[in-house]
């Protein structure tokens, strides 16, 4: 038996039912929810691709507006937090409650740091004159537009797409951090997760990996291209 | 359990279904009231409307509807009807009420998320209602909310009202997504032993595919609505052509959602009609498997036809042709279903109870709506009739003639299981006939108007010489519409009075086979103390195995085996 | 009754791959003198590959039954179709 089917039989609903997929309801529900999230990000990311393809001019060169080194570190951080999340999952699957708490806490800290760094980046960008509506008059970036370093025709689109994609991603990360913190205090710390039943960890883990996955795509198409 | 936990903040799927029922019937009434005002203006342009005195001077001075108000009526009629009446009636009510009952489950997979789904829809509805009352008025770019009109205050004149529309839609999207994930999880994982996929009733199959459509389409609308909100409020440029944005991007986003949405609005109706027609014919549904595959095909094809709403947007003819072909193809599974309904009724022992009458009317009206759809699918034809009353006729034939008649049938059919009483059969028949007559008189002439070039969302047809000869038809339609609306009071009274004075319902008043009819009317919290076993499909009517003309899914005959999955679990 | 097989996938190895690929992306985007279109294809390919690693190993999709994997796969062609159609409308 694999991991998946074992946990399914351990965590069946407490009543007989036809065999569905071999996954408990929380896990199935989370996968279903993630399918809807794929479509939500499709609307945002798809619009970005469509707008950029049809843009009336050149797009700003990567690194001229956004801080790639700091965001690269942030990307690495989020990937690390995904690893700590899966280590937390593996720990409780092996029955190790202590390491579950350690890895889960590290994940929460990693996620919170990601949001913090992103928020700091936002304030910095706004200060330099980069807004959802484009470049603010009289700002540092406005000077770059004036001297031709930045393309005037597409900065409005750049701002709009940048903030909506990274903003909603950041919102999703924040919700994940809140959810994990809640589970950490109400369940993990109190020993409510056991080798027999760790459905909540598995479920929140799936959400967290998804959020990381979306960022992997976003980092490339927003910051590097 | 206190009153608040039991009836207001309930996690019981049946209560939540009933809450959705009251919410959506309220919005159906709202949508109807808006339509009555529209029809007044169209039938009697520029004349003071009876009762129009209560409207503010900015909307209707002296009771005469202003163009700015008229376009709000048009927009909000569509918005209320699609998002807050038909969608929640079909999905919020019947997915919630029927799925666990028909599958033998105690409740939905996630009861608390289910409750959240209702209250989010409620919030969305209140926000949308509020938008009617803000000083500058409600949104006014049509329910399809095309940019740039919808994105710019200086173009539309609607500021807060427009933003509230977007906010409301985001909440509604969230509600639908939460609901959909519940329905999908429950149907996949919580079927009673013996309830295999191909023993599920067609109502459940259709709700399953509908939930998948909703799960994947609503997020796109939510994303689009957020982008629109940002264009309106914080100065982004998604749909702003001068800054490089694309107005057509809105249309693509909206219709990519919008086409699956219309299948969300018809599939559950088709499913429930199947259940009712099989019951009223005392025969198994003809071609059950092909019905299932047709539902799946419609659900799948529904994703690749959205461009047919955009034939006049200037798209490349090759792209247009591919949408034309896919649109024609999608008529096929619908036709299969139509023939199967006819095959079910053929040589059946027909019982024309009120639900059956409404279900059969559904089939006939849906055929008319579908046929007009075939006209529209042909791009060269659509170029002439796009944005005319031909489209309005089509959409009302499928949404009212289709979905709403199916809903009348469904509401009467499952009323006893919801409330423990029967609605009046006599008044149900009177309501049906009057509605059927007035409905056809109201909407059929719109095909003719459309062919003549009468535009949609038009404030005053008499301003055009070529439409002046058709004004008597507009008047006729309006009068019939008023009579149609008045007739619905019969349904409303029947519904409300029967709650208190209706004949007490027995366990299985329609002699149906579904699992819900084995429970008391109304069903208790948790439905079953012990999950039942299922031995057969849901359409075993007039079976040679038993004397009665129906054979419930959970009735064990001496020749029946226990479901295989129970044997497995025992080891 | 439950002999659970605890063969976890090599999480730390996957982490290493992800870190290396991220570094490769940065080098590709900023340092290496490669034609723009090729760069685009390579960067997207790397991003998709990283995403797949996360999905397959961290989200355990590799070890689930096909009917669960289908759930995640279904939206992807829809997304592609939408983007393709909207772009082709603009360009044909």
3-class DSSP assignment, residue B516:
helix
Contact list, B224 vs chain A (CB under 8 Å): 43
For every residue of chain A, which 3-state class applies, written as one string?
Answer: CCHHHHHHHHCCCCCCCCCCCCCCHHHHHHHHHHHHHHHHHHHHHHHHHHHHHCCCCCCCCCCCCCCHHHHHHHHHHHHHHHHHHHHHHHHHHCCCHHHHHHHHHHHHHHHHHHHHHHHHHHHHHHHHCEECCEECCCCHHHHHHHCCCCCHHHHHHHHHHHHHHHHHHHHHHHHHHHHHHHHHHHHHCCCCCCCCCCHHHHHHHHHHHHHHHHHHHHHHHHHHC
DSSP label at residue B55: S
Nearest residue on chain C to B254, alpha-carbon basis: C82
Contact list, A23 vs chain C (CB under 8 Å): 64, 68
Tokens of B262: 């219309």
Contact at CB, C2 and A10, closer than 8 angstroms? yes
Cα A195 from chain centroid (whole Å):
27
Q: Which stretches of chain A drop beneath a pLDDT of 70?
A: 1-14
3-class DSSP assignment, residue B476:
helix
Contact at CB, A79 and C15, closer than 8 angstroms? yes
φ/ψ region of C65 (left if φ > 0, alpha if ψ in -120 to 50, else beta) reads beta
Which structural domain range is residue C34 located in?
A: 1-59
Give pairs for B554-559: CB < 8 Å, separation 24+: B554/B104, B554/B515, B554/B518
Q: If residue B36 lies in a helix (H) or strand (E), which one and from where to where?
A: helix B13-43
Q: State phi, psi for A134 to the nearest 5 degrees.
A: 125, -145
Overall domain count for chain C: 2
3-class DSSP assignment, residue B552:
coil
Q: Sketch the domain layout of chain A as residue ranges.
A: 39-224
Neighbours of B187 (CB within 10 A): 27
Tokens of B329: 């193809």
Tokens of B485: 């609306």
Contact list, C67 vs chain A (CB under 8 Å): 21
Alpha helices in B302-424 (DSSP H): 317-345, 354-377, 379-385, 389-396, 405-419
3-class DSSP assignment, residue B381:
helix
* Residue C45 shares a structural domain with residue C80: no
Each residue's pLDDT expressed in tens, for chain B with a length of 571 residues: 688 888 889 999 999 999 999 999 999 999 999 999 999 999 999 999 999 889 999 899 999 999 999 999 999 999 999 999 999 999 999 999 999 999 999 999 999 999 999 999 999 999 999 999 998 899 999 999 999 999 998 998 889 999 999 999 999 999 999 999 999 999 999 999 999 999 999 999 999 999 999 999 999 999 999 999 999 999 999 999 999 999 999 999 999 999 999 999 999 999 999 999 999 999 999 999 999 999 999 999 999 999 999 999 988 889 999 999 999 999 999 999 999 999 999 999 999 999 999 999 999 999 999 999 999 999 999 999 999 999 999 999 999 999 999 999 999 999 999 999 999 999 999 999 999 999 999 999 999 999 999 999 999 999 999 999 999 999 999 999 999 999 999 999 999 999 999 999 999 999 999 999 999 988 899 899 889 999 999 999 999 999 999 999 999 999 999 998 887 654 3
Query: What is the complex's ipTM, to 2 decimals?
Result: 0.94
Q: Is the peptide bond before A137 cis (omega within 30 degrees of 0)?
A: no
DSSP label at residue B470: G
Instruction: Give the Cα separation of B333 and B296 in Å (integer).
Output: 9
Residue that the structure tokens 């700003």 belong to: A60
**pLDDT 10s digits, C22-60:** 999 999 998 888 888 899 999 999 999 999 999 999 999
Contact list, A46 vs chain C (CB under 8 Å): 79, 82-83, 86
N-terminal to C-terminal alpha carbon distance within chain C: 62
Tokens of B526: 């948790």
Neighbours of B319 (CB within 10 A): 15
Q: Is B185 near chain C, with CB under 8 Å?
A: no
Q: State phi, psi for B388 to the nearest 5 degrees.
A: -110, 180
**pLDDT 10s digits, A81-137:** 999 999 999 999 999 999 999 999 999 999 999 999 999 999 999 999 999 999 999
| Cα dihedral B77/B82/B85/B89 (nearest 10) | 170
Cα C16 from chain centroid (whole Å):
15
Triad B118, B273, B259: Cα angle to 5°: 60
Cα B414 from chain centroid (whole Å):
17
Exposure pattern of C51-82 as b/e (b: 16+ CB <10 Å)?
bebbbbbbbbbeebeeebbebbebbeebbeeb
Q: What is the mean predicted confidence (pLDDT) over C12-21?
A: 94
* Residue C53 shares a structural domain with residue C69: no
**pLDDT 10s digits, C78-90:** 999 998 888 887 7
User: What pLDDT does residue B339 have?
Assistant: 97
Instruction: Give the Cα separation of B559 and B541 in Å (integer).
Output: 18
Residue that the structure tokens 């998948």 belong to: B212
* Residue C55 shares a structural domain with residue C76: no
DSSP label at residue B8: I
* Residue C83 shares a structural domain with residue C54: no
Contact list, A58 vs chain B (CB under 8 Å): none
Query: Mutate which of B114, B166, B187, B243 to disrupt the A interface (most A C-beta within 10 Å)?
Result: B243
> Nearest by CB to C22, which of A35, A75, A82?
A75
User: What pLDDT does residue B565 have?
Assistant: 84
Triad B222, B225, B227: Cα angle to 5°: 110
Q: How far is CA B458 from CA B285, B417, C74, in A?
A: 44, 44, 41
* Residue C1 shares a structural domain with residue C26: yes
DSSP label at residue B90: I
Instruction: Give the Cα separation of B360 and B280 in Å (integer).
Output: 10
Contacts of A193 (CB under 8 A, 6+ apart): A92, A97, A100, A187, A200, A201
Q: What is the mean predicted confidence (pLDDT) over C13-18?
A: 94
To the nearest whole Å, the CA of A141 is away from the closest chain C CA by 21
Contact list, B191 vs chain A (CB under 8 Å): 17-18, 20
User: Of C55, B371, C83, B547, nearest to A206 (Cα)?
Assistant: C55
CATH topology for A39-224 is 1.20.120
Nearest residue on chain C to B320, alpha-carbon basis: C89
Exposure pattern of C2-14 as b/e (b: 16+ CB <10 Å)?
eebeeebeebeeb
Instruction: Give the Cα separation of B254 and A65 in Å (integer).
Output: 31
User: What pLDDT does residue A13 have?
Assistant: 55
Tokens of B114: 């289910």
Q: Which residues of A touch B (CB under 8 A)?
A: 13, 15-21, 23-25, 28-29, 32-33, 35-37, 39-44, 47, 50-51, 54-57, 131-134, 153-154, 156-157, 159-161, 163-164, 168
* Residue C9 shares a structural domain with residue C52: yes
Instruction: Give the Cα separation of A206 and A21 in Å (integer).
Output: 17
Q: List, as ranges, residues 510-549 from B with C-beta within 8 Å of A.
A: 531
For residue B541, the cross-strand partners are B550
Tokens of B498: 């029967």
Contacts of B483 (CB under 8 A, 6+ apart): B434, B438
* Residue C53 shares a structural domain with residue C76: no
Contact list, A35 vs chain B (CB under 8 Å): 215-216
| Gyration radius of chain A's alpha carbons | 21
Q: Is B319 near chain C, with CB under 8 Å?
A: yes
Tokens of A129: 């004159």
Nearest residue on chain B to A58, alpha-carbon basis: B244
3-class DSSP assignment, residue C25:
helix
Architecture of domain B3-566: Up-down Bundle (1.20)
Q: How far is CA A223 from CA B136, B233, B260, B545, C52, in A?
A: 41, 26, 34, 69, 20
Instruction: Give the Cα separation of B256 and C75 in Å (integer).
Output: 13
Nearest residue on chain A to B200, alpha-carbon basis: A18
Instruction: Give the Cα separation of B138 and B112 in Å (integer).
Output: 33
């Amino acid at each position: 038996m694999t991991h998946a089917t074992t946990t399914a039989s351990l965590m069946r609903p407490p009543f007989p039912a036809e065999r569905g997929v071999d996954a408990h309801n929380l896990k199935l529900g989370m996968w279903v929810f993630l399918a809807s999230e794929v479509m939500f990000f499709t609307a945002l990311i798809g619009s970005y691709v469509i707008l950029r393809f049809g843009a009336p001019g050149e797009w700003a060169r990567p690194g001229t507006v956004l801080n790639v080194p700091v965001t690269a570190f942030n990307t690495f951080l989020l990937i690390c937090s995904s690893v700590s999340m899966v280590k937390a999952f593996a720990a409780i699957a092996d029955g190790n409650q202590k390491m579950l708490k350690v890895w889960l806490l590290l994940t929460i800290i990693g996620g919170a740091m990601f949001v913090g760094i992103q928020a700091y980046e936002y304030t910095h960008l706004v200060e330099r004159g980069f807004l959802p509506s484009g470049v603010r008059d009289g700002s540092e970036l406005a000077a770059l537009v004036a001297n031709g370093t930045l393309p005037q025709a597409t900065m409005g689109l750049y701002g709009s797409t940048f903030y909506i994609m990274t903003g909603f991603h950041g919102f999703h990360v924040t919700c994940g951090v809140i959810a994990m913190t809640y589970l950490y205090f109400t369940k993990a710390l109190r020993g409510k997760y056991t080798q027999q039943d760790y459905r909540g960890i598995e479920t929140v883990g799936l959400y967290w990996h998804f959020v990381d996955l979306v960022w992997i795509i976003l980092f490339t198409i927003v910051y590097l291209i | 359990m206190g009153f608040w936990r039991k009836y207001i903040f309930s996690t019981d799927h049946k209560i939540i279904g009933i809450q959705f029922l009251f919410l959506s019937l309220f919005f159906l009434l709202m949508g109807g009231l808006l339509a009555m005002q529209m029809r007044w203006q169209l039938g009697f342009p520029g004349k003071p409307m009876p009762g129009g005195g209560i409207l503010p001077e900015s909307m209707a001075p002296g009771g005469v509807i202003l163009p700015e108000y008229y376009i709000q009526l048009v927009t909000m009629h569509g918005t209320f009807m699609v998002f807050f009446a038909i969608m929640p009636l079909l999905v919020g009510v019947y997915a919630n009420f029927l799925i666990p009952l028909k599958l033998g489950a105690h409740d939905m997979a996630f009861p608390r998320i289910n409750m959240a789904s209702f209250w989010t829809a409620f919030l969305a509805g209140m926000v949308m209602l509020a938008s009617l009352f803000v000083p500058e008025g409600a949104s006014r770019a049509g329910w399809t909310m095309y940019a740039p009109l919808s994105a710019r205050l200086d173009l539309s004149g609607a500021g807060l009202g427009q933003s509230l529309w977007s906010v409301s839609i985001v909440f509604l999207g969230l509600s639908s997504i939460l609901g959909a994930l519940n329905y999908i999880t429950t149907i996949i994982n919580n079927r009673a032993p013996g309830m295999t996929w191909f023993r599920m009733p067609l109502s459940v199959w259709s709700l399953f595919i509908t939930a998948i459509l909703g799960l994947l389409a609503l997020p796109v609308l939510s994303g689009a609505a957020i982008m629109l909100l940002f264009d309106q409020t914080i100065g982004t440029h998604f749909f702003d052509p001068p800054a490089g944005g694309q107005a057509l991007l809105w249309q693509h986003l909206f219709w990519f959602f919008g086409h699956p949405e219309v299948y969300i609005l018809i599939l559950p109706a088709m499913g429930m009609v199947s259940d009712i027609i099989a019951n009223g014919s005392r025969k198994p549904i003809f071609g059950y498997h092909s019905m299932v595959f047709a539902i799946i095909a419609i659900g799948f094809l529904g994703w690749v036809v959205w461009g047919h709403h955009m034939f006049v947007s200037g798209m490349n003819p090759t792209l247009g042709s591919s949408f034309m072909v896919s649109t024609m193809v999608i008529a096929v599974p619908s036709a299969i279903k139509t023939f199967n309904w006819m095959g079910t009724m053929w040589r059946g022992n027909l019982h024309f109870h009120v639900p059956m009458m409404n279900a059969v009317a559904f089939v006939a009206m849906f055929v008319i709506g579908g046929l007009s759809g075939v006209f529209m699918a042909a791009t060269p034809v659509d170029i002439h009739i796009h944005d005319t009353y031909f489209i309005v006729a089509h959409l009302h034939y499928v949404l009212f003639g289709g979905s709403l008649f199916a809903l009348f049938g469904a509401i009467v059919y499952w009323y006893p299981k919801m409330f423990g009483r029967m609605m009046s059969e006599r008044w149900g028949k009177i309501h049906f006939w009057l509605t059927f007559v007035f409905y056809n008189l109201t909407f059929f002439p719109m095909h003719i108007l459309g062919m003549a070039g009468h535009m949609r969302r038009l404030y005053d047809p008499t301003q055009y010489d070529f439409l002046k000869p058709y004004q008597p038809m507009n008047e006729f339609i309006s009068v019939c519409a008023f009579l149609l609306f008045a007739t619905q009071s019969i349904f409303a009274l029947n519904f409300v009075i029967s709650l208190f004075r209706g004949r007490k319902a027995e366990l299985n008043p329609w002699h149906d086979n579904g699992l819900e009819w084995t429970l008391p009317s109304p069903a208790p919290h948790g439905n079953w103390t012990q999950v039942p076993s299922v031995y057969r499909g849901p359409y075993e009517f007039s079976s040679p195995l038993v004397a009665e003309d129906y054979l419930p899914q959970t009735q064990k005959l001496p020749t029946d085996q226990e479901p295989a999955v129970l044997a497995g679990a025992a080891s | 009754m439950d002999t659970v097989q605890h063969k976890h996938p090599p999480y730390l190895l996957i982490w290493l791959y992800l870190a290396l690929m991220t570094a490769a992306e940065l080098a590709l985007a900023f340092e290496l003198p490669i034609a723009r279109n090729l760069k685009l294809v390579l960067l997207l390919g790397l991003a998709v590959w990283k995403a797949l690693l996360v999905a397959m190993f961290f989200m355990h999709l590799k070890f689930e039954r096909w009917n669960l994997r289908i759930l995640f796969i279904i939206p992807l062609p829809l997304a592609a179709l939408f983007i393709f159609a909207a772009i082709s409308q603009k360009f044909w």
